[in-house]
Amino acid sequence: MIRVKKTRRVPAALQTADVTAALHALEAGYDAAPAACRAPRNQLLHVPATLYNIPAIKARLIADQKEKCCYCEGKLLHIGYGDVEHYRPKNGFKQSPTTKLEKPGYYWLAYQWTNLLFTCKRCNGGHKRNYFPLANHPAGRAYCHHDDLGQEQPLLLHPVLDNPADHIRFRRAVAVGKTARGRATITICGLNRKHTLERRRTHLAHMESHDLMADKDITTMSATDLAREIAKCGTAQALVRRILQARAIRDQAALDSAEYAGMVRANFPLLPQR
């Protein structure tokens, strides 16, 4: 997980008359019957996906996030479409995985650009879902559009507003919380889930191999070492190409666009990051 540089300009698709009308309808619906809207399992303020989960919105998010899930940093477009995710859940929330779903959700943020992110289905639908704990729940919770959102103390890191590196470090491929928010985010999004951890371990092993190769200099090798490396690659020209390729891979591995850049930066702190 790294900090995402999201385009500040709100997409035109979120500034239409239909979006404004839908938002006003949600707010009016709450004001008309607040107690009913807070009743368990009610659907009074349900937000359909037709106004935010559209190609124009998703394309902007995918471009801003360099085609990566904002939480696990996996590149997923080769195997799936990904989700337009609400940082603060729109239809209901849970303070912990074992508590019941509370209503309403953050309906007034359903079409807010800053609340939308791009995620993989495992982070969003498999782990986070409606889980949005606060350090100061319930006193600081904003329950409706009249409440002060600034009083909330979210435990889940916001990939745009927070710097994940301040809260999460890596022990090799394993994400480790440096703070309570870092530990909570790892749990909420399942950042150490089995298959993601396997992918990160494999990626790290490849990176270490490239790093060793990138540091080789055929002009300073002993004759024995040079002969051994040429034998591995087939020819001297192939060895040079392999070294140059390793350097190129290493130099790009910690950039914002690179998969698992957060883990790579933690293990190779001197690599270029921009």
Which pLDDT tens digit goes with each residue over 66-106? 999 999 999 999 888 999 999 999 999 999 988 999 999 99
| pTM for this entry | 0.93
Residue 53 binned pLDDT confidence (cut-offs 50, 70, 90)? very high
Q: What is the pLDDT of residue 97?
A: 85
48 falls in which pLDDT band (50, 70, 90)? confident
**Type of residue numbered 120:** C
Instruction: State the first-to-last Cα distance of the chain, in angstroms, to the nearest integer.
Output: 15
Q: What percent of the chain has pLDDT over 90?
A: 95
Residue 257: pLDDT over 80: yes
DSSP 178: S
Q: Nearest Cα to 170, choosing from 199, 200, 126? A: 200
pLDDT of residue 156: 98
> Mean pLDDT of all residues in the chain?
96
Give pLDDT tens digits for 9-46: 999 999 999 999 999 999 999 999 999 999 999 999 98
Closest CA relative to residue 179, chosen from 161, 194, 167: 167
Q: Are the C-beta atoms of residues 152 and 165 closer than 8 Å to each other?
A: no
* Helix or strand (DSSP H, E) at 177: strand 174-177
Mind listing the pLDDT tens digit for each residue in 200-256?
Answer: 999 999 999 999 999 999 999 999 999 999 999 999 999 999 999 999 999 999 999
